[in-house]
Structure 1
Amino acid sequence: KLSKGTQVTVYSESKGWAKIKANGKEGHVSTKYLSTTKPGTESTPSTPEKTTTNYVNVSSGTLNMRKSGTESAGIVAKLSRGTQVTVYSESNGWAKIKADGKDGYVSTKYLSTTKPETESTPSIPEKTTTKYVNVSSGTLNMRKSGTESASIVAKLSRGTQVTVYSESNGWAKIKADGKDGYVSTK
Structure 2
Amino acid sequence: MTVADENLAIELSMAELREIAGYAVACAEPALAIFERARPDDRRPRAAIDAAQAFADGAQRTRVIRDNAWAAHRAFQETRDVGQAAASDAARAAVAAAGAVFLHPLAKATQVVHILGSAAHAARAFELDAGEDSRVGADYIEKAQGLASPVVVSVLTRYPNAPSGRGRAGELMRELDAALRRLATGR
TM-score band (shorter)? under 0.3
Higher normalized contact order (CA 8 Å, seq sep 6+, divided by chain length): 2
Specify the structure having the higher radius of gyration (Cα).
1
Q: TM-score, normalising length from structure 1?
A: 0.20
Whose strand proportion is higher, 1 or 2? 1
TM-score of the superposed pair, with normalisation by structure 2? 0.20
